[in-house]
Amino acid sequence: MTENSCPTCGCSFGPLLAKGILMIILGILMLVFTLASLFASEIILAILLIFVGITLLSAGSTFFGQPTCTWWVFLLGILVIIFGILTLIFPAIMLVYAMYVLAAAALIGGLTDLALALMGKSGQVNRGLVAVSGILGIILGVLFLINPVISAFTIVQIAGIFFFAFGIIAIIEAFMSKSATA
């Protein structure tokens, strides 16, 4: 480590400061330009899906180290590519579908947590917390189902707040690492 490096990660003052400033800028941009951030993330997701689909197509003959050709990997690759192209063509519609998938995941996770809490052993210490987690997951899933577009905006705004907060923390960590070595 250098003389101005962070004791936990070894990063020096300059990169930590730059990281903090960039995260604050990104957080502010996400809060101010929520719609643009939402569609930019949709486009990035679409491109990522297309690349994952191409990877699945090319890995179809050697998936999980199997030397045989597996038709379901090819099918999955084709479906992922189609989903990525549809996301590029119809970003708003695919955003709603993505929020429905998140809603279903939250509902299933919430119901599972609630069932685990109710059917758990009486000596289990965290049954109450698991039940609260399940109830919150169910509420979140229902809210996502009621209005998926507002839910997507809310997720982007919360992400912007987190980026802003983590940027401030990175700047504080940069100055703490600099003063610790002084």
Q: Per-residue confidence of the chain (182 residues) as pLDDT tens digits? A: 455 455 555 657 888 899 999 999 999 999 999 999 999 989 998 999 999 999 888 876 555 555 555 778 888 889 999 999 999 999 888 889 889 999 999 999 999 989 888 887 655 668 888 889 999 999 999 999 999 989 999 999 999 999 999 999 999 988 888 887 76
Phi and psi dihedrals of 12, rounded to 5? -85, 175
Cα–Cα nearest to 116, from 130, 126, 137: 130
With respect to residue 2, please indicate whether it lies within any of the assigned structural domains. Answer: no
What is the pTM assigned to this prediction?
0.70
- The total number of structural domains that make up the chain: 1
Evaluate whether residue 58 is within a structural domain: yes
Position 32 in a domain: yes
Instruction: Indicate whether 5 belongs to any domain.
Output: no
Segment (H or E) for 72: helix 71-89
Give the integer Cα–Cα distance in Å for 29 and 169: 18
Residue 7 resides in a domain? no
Residues spanned by the domain of 143 = 13-181
Structure tokens that stand for 16 in this block: 């930590």
Cβ–Cβ < 8 Å for 128, 117: yes
